[in-house]
Structures are given as C-alpha cells and as structure tokens.
Amino acid sequence: MIVDSEHGTIDSPLHPDQVELIPTVPEALAQLTRAGYGLVVVTNQPAFAKGKTTQKNLEKVHARVLQLAEAAGGRILSSHICYHRQEDHCPCRKPRTGLLEEAFKQHASYSRKDSWMVGDGIADIQAGRSFGLQTALLATYKLETANLLQEKNAAPTLWADDLLNFCHKILKPREV
C-alpha cells in the first residue's frame, strides 16, 4: 500500500520494491492453509489502465506478494487479476463476479456455500454476496460503514479487524 501525496489516497504498490505485507497477514495465510482452506487471490489492479505504471510492473508486484505469502506458509492456489478501470465496465472487475467465476471454474471442487470472500472494501463484499459466498469485511466496525453497506445490500457475513482476527473467528483452536 502506498499513499498518493498529491491526492491523499491509498493505492496499491506500483513497483515490486514497494511491496510490504501487513505484519499479521503471513501468519493468517499459514493458519488458513494448515486448516485446509484453498486460498485464491481476486484483485482489481487498474494502475496500468490509469497510466500509473506498466502491466509488467503490476505482474512483478503480484508475484512479490505471492512470494512473501508463500514464504510464510500460505499456499495460494491461483490468482485472478482485473487490470481495468471502473469506467471500463469490465465483467471481471469487482463488484462484478467474473474473477470469482474464473476462480471457481479453475477450482471446481470447492463449494460456494462453504467459501469466503474476504476483503477490505464494499466491492469485495458485493462481489462475494452476488456470487453466493460468505463474506468478511476486514475493517474496524463503524456504524457509518455498516449503514452504507446495508443501503447497498452488501452487509458482510462477519466483520473482522484484520485477516488474523478473521482466522480467529472462523477457525477452531485445533485447526490453527
């Protein structure tokens, strides 16, 4: 994550040297892997389409993220990336479900009703709900956010402060 100093917005890394995992993420991914969950990445990465970086840089960023996750014991089965902007109306860009459709087609043995879409934004929750998945929003619970999600018919199955907190909520003590 990087902060755009000009606009004050948070953006994804644009170069592999900028990749840093949130400290609790590697352990959370390892716990989920040990518990038998199949981990798949579905992500919107429009920086190339917006002219901020090259697609090759974004691919290297993503490879670095996977490398760090797997070095800590998390096993990522596959990744599904949308490089389009919201205004491109791409069917794979969340909140649309194209990336999820692609992932479940590739991993057909996994059940939708037993699977989770875990994310930090409304589009993640909307995509997961539309596709029939359980959803978890990684964010501190705030009434304003809860009301906005309710208005958009996107209330998550559960809230968790971060990915490790999500693990603690869904995994039995013997699984971690």
Instruction: With a cut of 70, say whether residue 9 has pLDDT above it.
Output: no
Domains of the chain from N-terminus onward: 2-175 (3.40.50.1000)
Question: Interior CA angle at 15 toward 164 and 58, to 5°?
Answer: 80
In whole angstroms, what is the distance from residue 144 CA to residue 61 CA?
Answer: 33
Q: Residue 84 in contact with residue 49, Cβ under 8 Å?
A: yes
Mean pLDDT along residues 5-10: 47
Band the pLDDT of 173: cuts 50, 70, 90: low
Q: Residue 26 in contact with residue 168, Cβ under 8 Å?
A: no
Band the pLDDT of 3: cuts 50, 70, 90: very low
Instruction: With a cut of 90, say whether residue 174 has pLDDT above it.
Output: no
pLDDT at 153: 86
Mean pLDDT along residues 23-44: 94
Write the pLDDT tens digit of every residue in 40-60: 999 999 999 999 999 999 999
pLDDT at 16: 87
pLDDT at 10: 58
Band the pLDDT of 11: cuts 50, 70, 90: confident
Within 8 A by CB and 6+ apart from 77, the residues are 38, 39, 40, 106, 107
Instruction: With a cut of 50, say whether residue 33 has pLDDT above it.
Output: yes
Q: Residue 67 in contact with residue 24, Cβ under 8 Å?
A: no
Write the pLDDT tens digit of every residue in 64-102: 999 998 998 999 999 999 999 999 999 999 999 999 999
For every residue of the chain, which 3-state class applies, written as one string?
Answer: CEEECCCCEEECCCCHHHCCCCCCHHHHHHHHHHCCCCEEEEEECCCCCCCCCCHHHHHHHHHHHHHHHHHCCCCEEEEEEECCCHHHCCCCCCCCCHHHHHHHHHCCCCCCCCCEEEECCHHHHHHHHHCCCEEEEECCCCHHHHHHHHHCCCCCCEEECCHHHHHHHHCCHHHC
pLDDT at 124: 96
Write the pLDDT tens digit of every residue in 102-159: 999 999 999 999 999 999 999 999 999 999 999 999 998 899 988 999 899 899 999 9
